[in-house]
């Protein structure tokens, strides 16, 4: 195995890195997608308004279909996502807010995620990991980011990790700027992907008002912050359509936006970044 993509939920890796995944496969390189929060919640214990998002049996079938379309292996860690764990959130939008007073201790799954990274490195010593930057402050994305960042720095294996832009960071410049590393993502060109449709513009405006900014870095000791980062771009020209085809397999999620809206958005987004997907890589000098 040469490339392992850590995906907080069942569609995140394809959304952010589907073109890169397709390109690796075309180059005859082995790819594994490890989705972290995939456990079926107990429907009886969660509010009815969340039931439509908790259809994991269907979402897993969609994930299989999407990853089969890209011809990659997959693994589900079956950890329960924050939205369905006790204590239950007061409202769904609280998933984008981090409690600073509880510190890193609130992320109870960091150890589990790092244990999985341990196993994968032992099995595939030359592997490269791709982890989310957690732009948007989604609790589950933050947990995977923190687990990956801490592991990378504690073991000084900077060349083994790349961090990708989450969907929330793709769709809004304002949301990117609320992340302490978001300003590293320089703008190429003049188009604004979030304005590819009125519907997405409204969604991003609402999301931007929900997301609490400037929090992840306040959870981290200085040694995790005093590092330099560089932007890495990976051209996916020729692989955009395959990424879109894989994305469309996630029907339960795509219908929230509409196929045409998402297709237009991703076409604009890829064009905006010179037909590339974006990653940040930490430099080894601390």
Domain that holds residue 61: 3-282
**DSSP state for residue 178 in the 8-state scheme:** T
For residues 11 and 73, give the distance between their C-alpha atoms in angstroms, rounded to a whole number.
14
Cβ atoms of 77 and 35 closer than 8 Å: yes
Domain containing residue 98: CATH number: 3.40.50.10320
Q: What is the pLDDT of residues 40-50, one digit of tens each?
A: 887 777 766 66
Q: Lowest mean pLDDT of 17-26, 127-136, 184-193, 227-236, name the range.
A: 184-193
For residues 67 and 194, give the distance between their C-alpha atoms in angstroms, rounded to a whole number.
26
Place of tokens 């795509």: 254
Q: Structure pTM?
A: 0.93
What mean pLDDT comes out for the span 90-111?
A: 88
Say how many domains are in the chain. 1
- Element of type H or E holding 205: helix 198-210
Q: What is the pLDDT of residues 28-72, one digit of tens each?
A: 999 999 999 999 887 777 766 666 667 788 999 999 999 999 999
- b/e 111-131 (16+ beta carbons within 10 angstroms → b): eebbebbeebbeebeebbbbb
For residues 230 and 184, give the distance between their C-alpha atoms in angstroms, rounded to a whole number.
7
């Amino acid at each position: 195995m040469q490339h392992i993509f850590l995906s907080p939920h069942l569609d995140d890796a394809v959304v952010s890195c589907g073109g890169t995944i397709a390109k690796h496969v075309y180059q005859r390189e082995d790819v594994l997608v490890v989705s972290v929060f995939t456990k079926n919640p107990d429907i009886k214990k969660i509010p009815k308004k969340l039931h439509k998002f908790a259809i994991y049996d269907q979402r897993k079938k969609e994930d299989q279909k999407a990853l089969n379309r890209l011809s990659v292996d997959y693994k589900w860690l079956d950890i329960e996502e924050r939205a369905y764990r006790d204590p239950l959130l007061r409202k769904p939008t609280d998933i984008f807010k981090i409690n600073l007073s509880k510190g890193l201790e609130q992320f109870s799954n960091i150890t589990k995620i790092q244990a999985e990274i341990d196993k994968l490195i032992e099995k595939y010593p030359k592997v490269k990991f791709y982890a989310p930057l957690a732009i948007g402050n989604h609790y589950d994305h933050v947990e995977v980011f923190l687990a990956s960042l801490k592991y990378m720095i504690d073991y000084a294996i900077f060349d083994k990790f790349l961090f990708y832009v989450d969907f929330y960071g793709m769709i809004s410049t304002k949301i990117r700027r609320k992340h302490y590393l978001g300003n590293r993502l320089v703008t190429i060109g003049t188009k604004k992907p979030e304005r590819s449709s009125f519907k997405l513009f409204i969604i991003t405006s609402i999301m931007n008002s929900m997301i609490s900014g400037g929090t992840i870095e306040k959870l981290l000791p200085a040694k995790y912050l005093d590092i330099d980062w560089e932007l890495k771009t990976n051209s996916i020209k020729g692989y955009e359509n395959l990424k879109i085809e894989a994305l469309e397999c996630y029907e339960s999620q795509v219908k929230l936006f509409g196929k045409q809206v998402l297709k237009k958005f991703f076409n604009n987004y890829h064009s905006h970044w010179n037909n590339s997907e974006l990653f940040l890589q930490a430099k080894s000098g601390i």
